Structure 1
Amino acid sequence: MAQAKSGSGLRIAIVTGGSRGLGRNTALSLAERGVDVIFTYRSNRKEAEKTVSEIEAHGRKAVALQLDTGDSASFDAFAAEVKRILKDKWGRETFDYLVNNAGIGIGASIADMKEADFDQLYNIHLKGVFFLTQKLLPLIADGGRIVNLSSGLARFTMPGYAAYGAMKGAIEVLTRYMAKELGPRGIAVNVVAPGAIETDFGGGLVRDNAEINKHIASVTAMGRVGVPDDIGPMIATLLADENRWMTAQRLEVSGGVNL
């Protein structure tokens, strides 16, 4: 168990899937608030290097590490690399914030869902979150924070997203268990559930399909779909010390979709 407490000094965050979309926006939002960032990317090294440069432009330190969050066999090596980097780059044994953001979108009806696609969703969205967090627990400072990413699809239904929504529903339950078990260490664990956001997630469906974008906007109280800037700053704010007493909560950031 990590003994160093998260005090008033420098903060370090780990953000999975931080080279694009909501993860990238979260990493940059944290940097703007004075937080150094280690983030993961799956394959696009060029985009990762660009994100590093943007974080450094805010005067913060950044490290990009390649990781397939669906490959739990690689997590021991990843945790060892994080431990080495914390010591070499920051002179620390712990980090403060973990944002389990990495994910993919696969849509299919229950009748048509392929088992291989189901397994991929499971490995990334549930098994990966569970065991990556487990491997990083010794490195998270007491008094730190964890944010898991869910989806509005865990609250309402949309045909074609049964498997994805089920994984995110499981993440919401897992978040409560994490909060209970890590509470004695002063670690707050919450879940953020974005609504439909204009990113390249799911092949850029919400961003690029005008008909789908218009429909979602029509059933959203605030009259539009979301953009990354609606989510990243909110997560960064949630991780701040002012929210130290909030844990095990689900926060939906969707503009009021399907109320």
Structure 2
Amino acid sequence: MENKNKIALVTGGSRGLGKDMALRLAEKGIGVILTYNNKADDANEVVTQIKEIGQKAATLQLNTGDIKSFGAFVENLKSALSDTFGADHLDFLINNAGFGHHSPIDQTTEEAFDELMNVHFKGVYFLTQKMLPILNDGGGIVNISSGLARFSMPGASAYASMKGAIEVFTRYLAKELGSKKIRANIVAPGAIATDFGGGRVRDDEQMNQMVSSLTALGRPGEAEDIGGVVAFLCTDDARWINGQRIEVSGGMLL
């Protein structure tokens, strides 16, 4: 199996999109370390499911918005790599952790803006920086953006701006890490029916219908629509995809 002994770190892997990414990676034969912020039980349940597939997995606590904690996290990560996989390096970094935010520009507080920036941009930037020394040559980075970086929906200005920054950052990663044969790509989900953003797409019937009407395939996305694309980018089939933005939205606002 081409992915034997490969290992991925998935941030925010206890639920939603991150959970599906972790499971799909495991199905490809890739070992998984997933992080959670405060849902330890959910994270452990994902580890159990991965082990049932026959793959190794571990879980670590991480607040991706607390940049000062990253040094200690890397030490915990090294211990998990050694204890669970007998390894000292990773192959793939999936920067997935995040949260939704919805407010008009004139009502967006500086505190909300800073929290979004720390989790969705600054945290991703500096966690990736911390990972570089333990990322194997020939590995990959997948950053999660959003359809909202391409099309504009009122209320998403701050969140979408952070995702726009991540898209630029990803191209720079691809350029700077090319000499190490490390690929960096973006997966940009459309509107997904999970508990993300308070479950608006899933639970608000009006929102659900609006998304469906704007999507060529006629429905909102599900978590299961996204994880397989991330897993694919971590396989040899995707070895020549680099610096690219792949929108996974069912054809939203074409």
Higher mean C-alpha displacement, 83-92 vs 214-223: 83-92
* Matched-pair contact (CA < 8 Å) for 2:56–2:85: no
SS in 1 for 2:167: helix
Q: Please give the per-residue CA displacement for 1:36-62, whole angstroms capped at 9, x wherever unaligned.
A: 100000001111111111111101111
What is the one-letter code of the residue matched to 1:110? Answer: I
- Does residue 161 of the first structure (1) align with residue 156 of the second (2)? yes
- Equivalent residue, structure 1, for 2:116: 121
- Equivalent residue, structure 2, for 1:88: 83
- Equivalent residue, structure 1, for 2:74: 79
- Equivalent residue, structure 2, for 1:24: 19
SS in 1 for 2:92: strand
1:214 is matched with which residue: 209, 216, 219? 209
- Equivalent residue, structure 2, for 1:244: 239
2:59 is matched with which residue: 52, 64, 68? 64
What is the one-letter code of the residue matched to 2:7? Answer: I
Quote the Cα distance in structure 1 between the aligned partners of 2:198 and 2:42.
17
Q: TM-score, normalised by structure 2?
A: 0.98
* Uncovered stretches (5+) of structure 1, i.e. residues with no partner: 1-6
Q: TM-score, normalised by structure 1?
A: 0.96
Q: CA deviation at 1:8?
A: 5.8
* Uncovered stretches (5+) of structure 2, i.e. residues with no partner: none
- Equivalent residue, structure 2, for 1:148: 143
- Equivalent residue, structure 1, for 2:248: 253
* Segments of 4+ moved more than 4 angstroms: none
Q: CA deviation at 1:33?
A: 1.3
SS in 1 for 2:177: helix
Alignment of structure 1 residues 36-55 onto 2, 5 Å = 36-55=31-50
- Equivalent residue, structure 2, for 1:134: 129
Quote the Cα distance in structure 2 between the aligned partners of 1:89 and 1:95.
12
- Equivalent residue, structure 1, for 2:103: 108
Q: Please give the per-residue CA displacement for 1:83-117, whole angstroms capped at 9, x wherever unaligned.
A: 12212222212111110000011111110001100
- Equivalent residue, structure 2, for 1:3: none
Q: CA deviation at 1:123?
A: 0.2
What is the one-letter code of the residue matched to 1:69? Answer: T
Q: Please give the per-residue CA displacement for 1:133-165, whole angstroms capped at 9, x wherever unaligned.
A: 001111110000100000000000000000011
Q: CA deviation at 1:186?
A: 0.4
Quote the Cα distance in structure 1 between the aligned partners of 2:51 and 2:83.
17
* Matched-pair contact (CA < 8 Å) for 2:4–2:30: no
Matched pairs, number: 253
SS in 2 for 1:214: helix
SS in 1 for 2:107: coil
